[in-house]
Amino acid sequence: MVIGATEPEGGSRGYVVEAGGAETLPFYTFEGLNPRPVLALEVYDCVEPLPSFLLESYRDVVSNPVEWARLVDRLEPDLVNLNVRSISPTVLDRSPRDALKTVEAVLQATRRPLMVTGIMDPIHRDDTARNMEFLRLVAETFKGERLLIGPVTPEAFETVAEAALANGHNVLAKTNMDVNQAIRLNELLVEKGLTLERIVVDVTTGALGYGVEYTLSTMERFRIRGLKGDRMARSPLIFFASENLFIRELENGESGMASIYEASSAVAGLMAGADIVSMLHPESLEKVRRFIDEFPWRGG
């Protein structure tokens, strides 16, 4: 998967990032080398409430996704993940069209490849429709930027898949901790015309003790099937380590501890085959980067 497009390619990014392409099991360095995993840092257009330990890092930018993106840009992640939750009827009920302004401004604030996520966790009845509308608009408006947009789910994927296909973007396919569901959604997306290297698979939740026990096995099974030749299991995998920062054990937690939760889970995700890891705490990014640096990767 290639995320981002430079000016000659029709986009406005400073560089592009490649994710996926594993040829062997994760960290089987004695068998062969896989490409270096991609580390994403998240920017929220609204958070309620941001865990207190993150205020140390993000206090000044909390209500300003553009400034937040500038700050994150300086921390040098491979990829920026802009999460636009404000569109949810239960959050701010902002109109998807209006929310495009935020995406536009963030694209100007950073030249790094961008991932745009809508409502990751649909709760309200209208969340899914809202999410689809927003992602379709993003795909159309930012044609050529080769974004990664999502989530799409088995229940709602068609309009976004079509828009991503027509406008040259990648999609994030989210299913629920079940390898067959993940493969099924890939099949549905491929039927729509997307190729497998344009789908990143999210099997849900990186939170330690809150579902990661299933996620890790699902990722391993997906990767093993892909390596064994199951074509529909050949997409890159994404892992949201950031979910750890919202668990109950970290309420009133302190910053150092929080980043160990997030980074520990990221390490476990990488060990299970994650090709992209999305994080929120700046210190976790640094720790996980150091971890990755201690292993050899294909192409250096």
Partner 1 sequence: MRVSRKAKQMSPIEVYKLLPKTNCGKCGFPTCMAFAFKLVQGAVEVDKCPYLSDEAKSLLTGMTAPPVALVVIGRGDKAVRVGGEKVSFRHEDKFYNQPVIALELNDLMDMEEVENGLKKAEEIAFERMGQTLKVNALALRNLSGRAEPFVRLVELVKDSPYPLIVSTGNPSTAMKVLNILKDERPLLHGAVLRNLMPMASLARRFKCPISVKAADWRTLLAAVNRLRGIGLHDIVIHPPGETLKEVIESLTIIRRLAVDKKFERLGYPTITFPGDLKSNVPEPLRTSAVMTRYSSIVVVKPEALRFLRPVMMLRQSIMMDPRAPISIKPGLYEVGEPTPESPVLVTTNYALTYYILTEDLKNMGVDCYLIVVDTGGLSVACSIAGDKLKPESVKRVMEETGIADKVKHRTLIIPGRAARLSGDIEDATGWRVLVGPLRSKEIAGFIEKRFRQNKT
Instruction: Say whether residue 183 binds partner 1 (CB under 8 A).
Output: no
CB 223 within 8 A of CB 22: yes
Instruction: Write down how long the chain is.
Output: 300
In the complex with partner 1, the residue whose CB is nearer, 236 or 273, is 273
Q: Which stretch binds partner 1 (CB under 8 A): 35-43, 70-78, 186-194, 283-291?
A: 283-291
What's the burial of 60, exposed, middle or buried (CB within 10 Å: 0-12/13-18/19+)? exposed
- Judged by CB under 8 A, the residue of 17, 201, 263, 285 near partner 1 is 263
State the minimum distance, in angstroms, from the CB of residue 249 to partner 1. Answer: 7
246 contributes a contact to partner 1 by CB under 8 A: no
Decide if residue 265 touches partner 1 (CB under 8 A): yes
Residue 153, amino acid: T
Does 222 sit near partner 1 (CB under 8 A)? no
Those residues with Cβ within 8 angstroms of residue 297's Cβ, 6 or more apart along the chain or in another chain: 33, 34, 35, 36
* Binding of partner 1 by 279 (CB under 8 A): no
Region from 12-20, 63-71, 134-142, 172-180 binding partner 1, contact rule CB under 8 A: 172-180
> Is the Cα torsion angle 176, 180, 182, 185 positive or negative in sign?
negative
CB of 13 to partner 1, least distance (A): 30
Q: What track of x and - describes contact with partner 1 for positions 96 through 135 (by CB under 8 A)?
A: -------------------------x-xxx----------
Range list of H helices, 229-276: 255-271
User: What number of chain residues touch partner 1 (CB under 8 A)?
Assistant: 47
Contacting residue, 224, 227, 230, 255, with partner 1 by CB under 8 A:
224
Interaction mask 68-97, partner 1, x per CB under 8 A: ------------------------------
Interaction of residue 248 with partner 1, rule CB under 8 A: yes
DSSP-assigned letter for residue 87: T
Question: b or e along 228-254 (b: 16 or more beta carbons within 10 Å of the residue's beta carbon)?
Answer: eeeebbbbbbbbbbbbbbebeebeebe
d(CA 181, CA 187): 10
Stretch of 24-32, 139-147, 160-168, 274-282 lying at the interface with partner 1 (CB under 8 A)? 24-32
**Residue 184 near residue 218 (C-beta atoms within 8 A):** no
Dihedral, 132, 175, 210, 244 alpha carbons, nearest 10: -50
Residues near partner 1 (CB under 8 A)? 27-30, 121, 123-125, 153, 176-178, 204, 208-214, 216-217, 220-221, 224, 244, 248-249, 256-257, 260-261, 263-265, 267-268, 271-272, 287-288, 290-291, 293-296
